[in-house]
Amino acid sequence: MRKFILASTLVVMAMACNKKKFCDTNPAPYYFTIMRADGTPYFSNTKDTLQIFYIKDGDTTYLNDYHDVGIFSWDTTVYKFIMSTRLAPVRSAMEEVKRFYFRMPDGDVDTLDLNYGYNADGAPSCNGCCRPYISSAYNGIAPTLDEHTMPPVWVLIKK
């Protein structure tokens, strides 16, 4: 009986935290808004076209999962045109794509460096069971996180 309990315990422990490269827990969506340097929203309406894509091994892949979302704010800050993407964090964590591009409505192409999934020392995070947010930069500048909204929103400044 002891051997059965020991074997069962080992199986449960192994299943609780597998160490494979692609984990079962996806990262949370990346919620963001793009503001001009003067504090006004970059987008004038939610129908403006934003294309998010990345390049890996010479192939361009477009992410068509971003959408405008409703955000609850606890203070007087009200952002318009909050967007989210689930695929960018997943690609960052699970395929190690760390640079994404935004093709803006005016034709500009901006960069979003998005790092999910590994600590700075390269060791898998959370024993390989989860893929947390590590860092991001929009056109090389770290965004600010507004934690007064639910969910928290990254404020990207377009210069």
pLDDT digits (tens, 9 = 90+) for 57-107: 999 999 988 776 666 666 656 666 788 888 999 899 888 899 999 998 888
d(CA 80, CA 106): 19
Tokens of residue 94, six digits: 């699970």
| Residues 135-149 pLDDT 10s | 999 999 999 998 877
The model's confidence at residue 128, banded by pLDDT at 50, 70 and 90, is: very low
pLDDT value of residue 6: 41
- At the second CATH level, the architecture of 27-158 is Sandwich (2.60)
Residue recorded with tokens 């318009």: 80
Neighbours of 126 (CB within 10 A): 13
Counts for the chain of helices (H) and strands (E), in that order: 2, 12
Residue 128 corresponds to which tokens in the numbers above?
Answer: 């390989």
Q: How many CB atoms lie within 10 A of CB 103?
A: 15
pLDDT tens digit string along 9-68? 333 333 344 444 444 467 778 889 898 999 888 887 655 678 899 999 999 999 988 776
Domain residues of the chain, as ranges? Answer: 27-158
Tell which residue, 54, 85, 81, 86, has the closest CA to residue 68: 81
- Per the CB < 8 A criterion, the answer to whether 69 and 31 are in contact is yes
d(CA 65, CA 95): 17
